[in-house]
Chains A and B, each alone.
Chain A
């Protein structure tokens, strides 16, 4: 019970901290002070009090986009275990639902972008759906490796430390899918080298180009939902790279928070030391992720 309360608290309150930490890391790398790590919370509360400016072209789909994204991200957050804690909802085959929830979110985000009739937003949504065609199979390959290792079809048991994780037979595929999943994480959460959330040129953006017309509470919802997505996908990756657990809530809980903050710092470092790829090179990166995960699986069943 307490573990579920903890899960819900983390799921609802922690996400905005992650972009804050990433921004802070990048600022530190650039030699600036940067905004406080709590800045995203202030931004959200400000956006939620604003009014809403809508395009004359937009229909109800435009408003449905952010809401569906938020609902799916939260539901996915309920399916995934945070660190050593159990997930509130767990059943055989929940990993498929987990992956498809992001598909639903993508459908509505990109439709909402097209609803404004803006060329930039159309461009952004075209890129989003295209890159997902490569990142989704990579995610499934990674899930197959984890399912094979654990012999289970529920996220709760497939995301725990497999027996003999340090033997070469098990470790090699895990290393490969960890790389693949990190790339998928960067692509799905719109980070450098795939997308640059802070660029000033709309032509080169993916996700930010899609939400150009969203304002006020709707934009706040989008920011919050993408932070939740970062938390959810990040905790999936953490299960592969740092599968530590003790079985005690008061250790596992704080440990998970530390791990996810460390992951945010790692993302910040990646963003600081790399440049954004040219848009036509992004598919190669994602094919690379697909190959990493695919080879991981082949290594396992060979």
Chain B
């Protein structure tokens, strides 16, 4: 019954954008209908996914019959249900946000398209998560990936938007190619496309590693693991903000889902896999946040933080794999708990942060952090939501990010204490600590520069609070962050079945709630919050503000907004510390003469993979293929000639040479 709810929700989501096409371009009827339909779909989907955790009995399965697939099964086990929750939650909140952020009246040319592909993306992701058949999964995967392209490139009139759209399309197809190879290989090995567990012990190690490498590449491109993340910052920065929220919060998790599902199918993984996944996670986490610090663009910065959080998720998954190889159920349970809960948490706080960034963009029309400032006064709700998201993403108590990082820490500390195979992973602890401290630096920089202080430009001074339709989703997400942070024991009934479902052989003896005393964390988080509120009330009663004056700038009489510390200078020391990785570029003006003219300088941090490796490499390849241009002169006659040659060639293949020769020689 629950799976039917989910399937109906998927169908409803897929068609939610269609009614909009029957309305006039400038009427707001279509967007309201789409928002209502997506809201209903989200409610159904969440009810189905949430309810299935509490249903007893075998995993419900339905069969889809479609000639192309044969009969493909879809099922709703706890693992699928766990990943469905963020899909439908964000799927429902996004269109509501879109009512304020991307109203049809202001975007008549692309509003309808955006909503159609939003629904299709959600439906595609739901199909990916529930399918038990490789080709059905691939169908959902492509529906998601292609619709996401149209979402990213919604503003096709901007060159930057088109460019990042292309890069995304290339990246996602490279990934799909690997997945196709993976599924064909799977078919050859197991004899069917069904995604059923198999014993990895019967395969040769080379074949296992090939399966692993294909899955890692195919799903890793989508997840944005560090060397494969190159499409991500641009795409997330240039998409409309609620699309960025969906992409960053939910679509990336499909890559994680793929990896998690694939590892659950193969038993007996070699220990090296876990080590590799863990190392990739550590690299993504550290470099993701370091690159984030170097950014000046609010949304690019958030996009790099997605790489960081994917890194933390992978560290959890790697720990679980290591635990599986070393037969340590506690590592598996804690690693997976961290991985899964961070998937939820990241989808909550990253979506929240992107929605806040969207309302800043909506109010000021700029993404440059150094042009903002003082927004907390004009946009108090947005500022409070952003602060909640920032505290959560830094993994600080009392919000949800802390709980999932704490799981990973606990698992790693257990590795420290109980030395044995795979205990090299303990060096992840200081790396995680460093990631946490760098994330604090990064978000203090963003929050402090954009929301606090004085407005640095006119656009920031004129900012207004976002409309209610945009504030509601932000508040809902912030509320979820607070709920998981203050009452973490509530997630145990969702985590335990999902962990048990992943791990058939080494069942954890204890529930995650036992391994990690979540109730104590909850009580302490609540008391910390109450303590701060109590202090605030005490101080509000006790002392009155006797005077307000200008900021004490060490005696400077009239400090101006331009004298404030900028985000760039705030991050400078860290950027220089990591200069060898970041390779920051500064273009300084040359000042000559006694009275130089006004000039400008700029600094930027290019992406390590895209700007320093892929694009130069592509340029090099293009140079080498230049000779090919002589066949492509733009003359129609030449092309007609090519068609003729191709036709002759094809006809030639039909020509019965063989029979003629046989006849000739027979005589």
The answer to the question of B269 belonging to the interface, with a C-beta cut-off of 8 Å to chain A, is no
Contacts of B445 in A (CB 8 A): 126, 129
Known contacts being A53-B549, A75-B531, A107-B391, is A117 close to B454, with CB within 8 Å?
Answer: yes
B380 to chain A, nearest CB (A): 8
Which A-chain residue is minimally distant from B525 (CB atoms)? A97
B539 with A217: CB separation less than 8 A: yes
CA distance A119 to B564 in the complex (A): 5
B452 with A97: CB separation less than 8 A: no
A51 with B441: CB separation less than 8 A: no
A213 with B429: CB separation less than 8 A: no
The answer to the question of A223 belonging to the interface, with a C-beta cut-off of 8 Å to chain B, is no
B548 with A54: CB separation less than 8 A: yes
A117 with B551: CB separation less than 8 A: yes
The answer to the question of A162 belonging to the interface, with a C-beta cut-off of 8 Å to chain B, is no
Contacts of A89 in B (CB 8 A): 520, 524
Contacts of A122 in B (CB 8 A): 448, 564-565, 569-570
A123 with B565: CB separation less than 8 A: yes
Our pick among B414, B448, B524 for the contact of A114 (Cβ within 8 Å) is: B448
B414 with A153: CB separation less than 8 A: yes
B502 to chain A, nearest CB (A): 22
The answer to the question of B521 belonging to the interface, with a C-beta cut-off of 8 Å to chain A, is yes
CA distance A294 to B551 in the complex (A): 42
Our pick among A63, A74, A100 for the contact of B531 (Cβ within 8 Å) is: A74
The answer to the question of A258 belonging to the interface, with a C-beta cut-off of 8 Å to chain B, is no
B436 with A136: CB separation less than 8 A: yes
The answer to the question of B618 belonging to the interface, with a C-beta cut-off of 8 Å to chain A, is no
Known contacts being A57-B454, A71-B531, A92-B516, is A52 close to B573, with CB within 8 Å?
Answer: no
Known contacts being A93-B406, A126-B569, is A120 close to B553, with CB within 8 Å?
Answer: yes
The answer to the question of B546 belonging to the interface, with a C-beta cut-off of 8 Å to chain A, is yes
B561 with A117: CB separation less than 8 A: yes
CB-contacts of A115-146 with B (<8 A): 115-123, 125-127, 129-130, 132-133, 136-141, 144
B566 to chain A, nearest CB (A): 8
A136 with B564: CB separation less than 8 A: no
CA distance A274 to B539 in the complex (A): 39
CA distance A225 to B641 in the complex (A): 83
Convert B382-410 into 0s and 1s, putting 1 for each residue whose CB lies closer than 8 angstroms to a CB of A: 01000100110011110000100010011
A97 to chain B, nearest CB (A): 6
Our pick among A56, A71, A136 for the contact of B437 (Cβ within 8 Å) is: A136
Binds A, one of B18-26, B158-166, B360-368, B416-424: B416-424
Known contacts being A107-B444, A119-B565, is A213 close to B577, with CB within 8 Å?
Answer: no
B559 with A118: CB separation less than 8 A: yes
The answer to the question of B433 belonging to the interface, with a C-beta cut-off of 8 Å to chain A, is yes
B388 to chain A, nearest CB (A): 12
A51 with B394: CB separation less than 8 A: no
A147 with B416: CB separation less than 8 A: yes
Which A-chain residue is minimally distant from B401 (CB atoms)? A100
The answer to the question of B591 belonging to the interface, with a C-beta cut-off of 8 Å to chain A, is no
Contacts of A136 in B (CB 8 A): 433-434, 436-437
CA distance A151 to B417 in the complex (A): 5
Contacts of A283 in B (CB 8 A): 573, 577
CB-contacts of B627-649 with A (<8 A): none
Known contacts being A100-B395, A132-B441, A137-B434, is A93 close to B429, with CB within 8 Å?
Answer: no
B410 with A96: CB separation less than 8 A: yes
A56 with B552: CB separation less than 8 A: no
A137 with B430: CB separation less than 8 A: yes
Convert B536-569 into 0s and 1s, putting 1 for each residue whose CB lies closer than 8 angstroms to a CB of A: 1001001111111111111000010101110001
CA distance A141 to B561 in the complex (A): 41
The answer to the question of B273 belonging to the interface, with a C-beta cut-off of 8 Å to chain A, is no
Which A-chain residue is minimally distant from B546 (CB atoms)? A51
The answer to the question of A278 belonging to the interface, with a C-beta cut-off of 8 Å to chain B, is no
The answer to the question of A250 belonging to the interface, with a C-beta cut-off of 8 Å to chain B, is no
The answer to the question of B141 belonging to the interface, with a C-beta cut-off of 8 Å to chain A, is no
Contacts of B571 in A (CB 8 A): 126
Contacts of B448 in A (CB 8 A): 110-111, 113-115, 122, 125
The answer to the question of B377 belonging to the interface, with a C-beta cut-off of 8 Å to chain A, is yes
The answer to the question of B447 belonging to the interface, with a C-beta cut-off of 8 Å to chain A, is yes
Which A-chain residue is minimally distant from B433 (CB atoms)? A140
The answer to the question of B449 belonging to the interface, with a C-beta cut-off of 8 Å to chain A, is yes
B437 with A153: CB separation less than 8 A: no
B551 with A116: CB separation less than 8 A: yes
Known contacts being A52-B546, A59-B376, A217-B539, is A111 close to B444, with CB within 8 Å?
Answer: yes
The answer to the question of A152 belonging to the interface, with a C-beta cut-off of 8 Å to chain B, is yes
B313 to chain A, nearest CB (A): 18
CA distance A132 to B394 in the complex (A): 14
B536 with A139: CB separation less than 8 A: no
Contacts of A125 in B (CB 8 A): 444, 448, 565, 570
B431 with A55: CB separation less than 8 A: no
Contacts of B545 in A (CB 8 A): 51-54
Q: How large is the interface on A (under 10, 10 to 19, 20 to 34, 35 or more residues)?
A: 35 or more
CA distance A153 to B374 in the complex (A): 43
Contacts of A217 in B (CB 8 A): 539, 542-543
The answer to the question of B438 belonging to the interface, with a C-beta cut-off of 8 Å to chain A, is yes
The answer to the question of B598 belonging to the interface, with a C-beta cut-off of 8 Å to chain A, is no
Known contacts being A51-B546, A56-B551, A57-B551, is A91 close to B520, with CB within 8 Å?
Answer: yes
Contacts of A72 in B (CB 8 A): 528
Contacts of B549 in A (CB 8 A): 53-56
The answer to the question of A64 belonging to the interface, with a C-beta cut-off of 8 Å to chain B, is yes
A146 to chain B, nearest CB (A): 10
The answer to the question of B535 belonging to the interface, with a C-beta cut-off of 8 Å to chain A, is yes
Contacts of A54 in B (CB 8 A): 545, 547-549
Contacts of B88 in A (CB 8 A): none
B248 to chain A, nearest CB (A): 22
Our pick among A55, A61, A113 for the contact of B552 (Cβ within 8 Å) is: A55
CA distance A56 to B520 in the complex (A): 40
Which A-chain residue is minimally distant from B436 (CB atoms)? A103
Our pick among B387, B413, B535 for the contact of A71 (Cβ within 8 Å) is: B535
Which A-chain residue is minimally distant from B438 (CB atoms)? A133
Known contacts being A51-B544, A55-B549, is A129 close to B531, with CB within 8 Å?
Answer: no
CA distance A115 to B413 in the complex (A): 37
CB-contacts of B26-70 with A (<8 A): none
CA distance A51 to B441 in the complex (A): 32
Contacts of B531 in A (CB 8 A): 71, 74-75
Our pick among A99, A138, A153 for the contact of B410 (Cβ within 8 Å) is: A153
The answer to the question of B5 belonging to the interface, with a C-beta cut-off of 8 Å to chain A, is no
Contacts of B397 in A (CB 8 A): 97, 100-101, 104
A150 to chain B, nearest CB (A): 8
A137 with B394: CB separation less than 8 A: no
Contacts of B449 in A (CB 8 A): 114
Which A-chain residue is minimally distant from B448 (CB atoms)? A114
CA distance A132 to B402 in the complex (A): 18
The answer to the question of B270 belonging to the interface, with a C-beta cut-off of 8 Å to chain A, is no
CA distance A139 to B373 in the complex (A): 34
The answer to the question of B443 belonging to the interface, with a C-beta cut-off of 8 Å to chain A, is yes
> Residues of B with Cβ closer than 8 Å to A?
373-374, 376-377, 383, 387, 390-391, 394-397, 402, 406, 409-410, 413-414, 416-417, 419, 423, 426, 429-434, 436-438, 440-441, 443-445, 447-449, 452-454, 516-517, 520-521, 524, 527-528, 531-532, 535-536, 539, 542-554, 559, 561, 563-565, 569-574, 577
> Residues of A with Cβ closer than 8 Å to B?
50-59, 61, 63-64, 67-68, 70-72, 74-75, 89, 91-93, 95-97, 99-101, 103-104, 106-107, 110-111, 113-123, 125-127, 129-130, 132-133, 136-141, 144, 147-148, 151-153, 202, 212-213, 216-218, 221, 283, 290, 294, 301
A114-B452, A133-B577 given; name 4 further pairs at CB < 8 Å: A57-B550, A97-B524, A111-B444, A132-B437
Closest 4 CB pairs of A and B: A122-B565, A114-B448, A51-B546, A117-B453
User: Can you list 21 residue pairs at the A/B interface with Cβ under 8 Å?
Assistant: A55-B551, A56-B550, A57-B550, A59-B377, A67-B532, A68-B532, A70-B535, A96-B410, A100-B395, A100-B397, A111-B387, A116-B551, A117-B561, A118-B553, A119-B553, A126-B573, A129-B445, A136-B436, A144-B416, A148-B417, A217-B539
